[in-house]
Amino acid sequence: MIHLLLAIIYLAFISLGLPDALLGSAWPTMYSEFDVPVSYAGIISMIIALGTIISSLQSDRLTRKLGTGKVTAISVAMTAIALLGFSSSHAFWMLCVWAVPYGLGAGSVDAALNNYVALHYESHHMSWLHCMWGVGATVGPYIMGFALSGGKTWNTGYLYIGVLQIVLTAILVFSLPLWKERKTSESPGNTNENTALEKPLALPQIIKIPGAKEVMLCFFCYCAIEQTAGLWASSYLTLFKGVSAETAARFAGMFFIGITVGRAINGFIAMKLQDSQMIRLGQSIIAIGVIVMLLPGPHIISLAGLILIGLGCAPVYPCIIHSTPAHFGAGRSQALIGVQMASAYVGTCLMPPIFGLIANHISIALFPVYIMALLILMVIMHELLSKKTAH
């Protein structure tokens, strides 16, 4: 039964990724239909992100009250309803309305599932599960493309994904008996003090925990690096390095493929290395990738650097999450993972636009420097986290 539950969790992680790239893949068709500026995609993504931050911060309270299984089922159901709402929308304001339940559902399920896996499964499962998210994020645009190339509208693409989410909701509902919390004595970093926590922690209480601010900044920096690279790498390669737009776009896609493939490989490496070693390995590879991008020479050097950054990003996110119970204890892990998720989404929303301003007013050539600055801050915060939470 344990293996059946793990298979369901793997399926849930694929479903988490399925809708994530839909808006970007469908927006070129959508914005002209709604007669709005192309920049309005940012409004929808910001609403989704805000909902995600709110629900991530409430994940500890919700999970303690309902349990991981129910939170996951309800959250996926909310996402499914939101996607069906998108599929029936014919005005921009309707997209904004449906973006609210979409964001609220996504944040709760992300934090709840990550904490459950961190508590009950080994580190290699966390890497493979986040690899499954990458599979979902890759498949989603293909489903949208299938709908559009088949003569259907973008609404149909959202409908397909919405139906898949409804099927997953049904599976999760039927699997609720499997979601029995294991004894936390098996969890890493467990102490009597930690398991005695019965009330959810408020944000001010969480921030006062030694290492909490550092791990929040780690997540902020990591997601800032990932999203900035994903958004601006193609423009950097084209505008500064002189790479053709087609080649730059293809290698920008390779960045995310590098993350997905890297997490599949990291699952095996994690059987031998500890979480902290995996994180440092990833940070080192990111640094090498940035240095390679700064080197003069043929275009292929910069392209190789970008792929290295993607490979380096692969272990950082899942390993920081998996190490949370070890750093803070099982009783506090849900609260900490909730604020980590919130910090991640803040970094995702805030830092790529800031680099856009830098590129516009100074130079897009600063792209590798920007990534390196974020990396240095992340490395410092991770080392401080390790010192403050050493047992």
pLDDT digits (tens, 9 = 90+) for 338-381: 899 889 888 988 888 888 889 888 998 999 999 999 999 999 99
Long-range contact set of residues 41-48: C-beta below 8 Å, sequence gap at least 24: 43/96, 44/95, 44/96, 44/99, 45/349, 46/349, 47/96, 47/99, 47/100, 47/103, 48/99, 48/102, 48/103, 48/106
Taking CA atoms, 251 is separated from 44, 230, 235, 237, 307, in Å, by 26, 10, 11, 9, 8
Average pLDDT score over residue span 43-48: 86
C-alpha–C-alpha distance, residues 329 and 391, integer Å: 11
| C-alpha to C-alpha distances, 47 to 37, 101, 119, 275, 340, nearest whole angstrom | 17, 10, 31, 33, 19
How far, in Å, CA of 129 to CA of 263, rounded? Answer: 9
Predicted local confidence at residue 2, as pLDDT: 59
Encoding tokens for residue 238?
């084209």
Which of helix, strand or coil describes residue 90? coil
Asked whether residue 181 is assigned to any structural domain, the reply reads no
| HEC letters along 247-277 | HHHHHHHHHHHHHHHHHHHHHHHCCCCCHHH
Q: Which of 6-15, 247-256, 364-373 is most confident?
A: 364-373
Residue 1 pLDDT > 80 = no
What's residue 84's pLDDT? Answer: 95
Whether 185 is in a domain gets the answer no
pLDDT per position as a tens digit, 115-127? 888 888 888 888 8
* 260 half-sphere exposure, CB direction, 13 A CA radius: 16
Range of the domain at 217: 203-388
Identify the residue with better confidence: 382 or 300. Answer: 382
Closest CA to 349 of 52, 46, 104: 46
163 and 209 share one domain: no
**Using an 8 Å Cβ cutoff, are 115 and 337 in contact?**
yes
Q: Which pLDDT score, from 0 to 100, does residue 381 have?
A: 96
Q: In this predicted model, what pLDDT tens digit does every residue of 299-330 receive, in sequence order? A: 888 888 888 998 999 999 999 999 999 999 88
pLDDT on residue 186: 39
Residue 108 forms part of a structural domain = yes
| Per-residue model confidence as pLDDT tens digits over 256-293 | 788 888 888 988 998 889 999 999 999 999 999 999 99
Mean pLDDT value of segment 55-77: 88
CATH of the domain at 297: 1.20.1250.20
pLDDT at site 391: 59
The answer to whether residues 384 and 341 belong to one domain is yes
Instruction: Give first-to-last CA distance, the chain, whole Å.
Output: 34
Candidate ranges 75-89, 229-243, 347-361; pick with highest mean pLDDT: 75-89
Q: What is the CA radius of gyration of the chain?
A: 20
Burial (CB count <10 Å: 0-12, 13-18, 19+), residue 94: middle
Domain count, the chain: 2
160-188: average pLDDT: 77
Give yes or no: residues 167 and 214 share one domain.
no
Q: Is residue 264 part of a domain?
A: yes
pLDDT at position 184 is 42
Do 163 and 210 sit in the same domain of this protein? no
Among the candidates 131, 157, 175, a domain finishes at 175
Of 21-25, 111-115, 372-376, give the range with the top mean pLDDT: 372-376
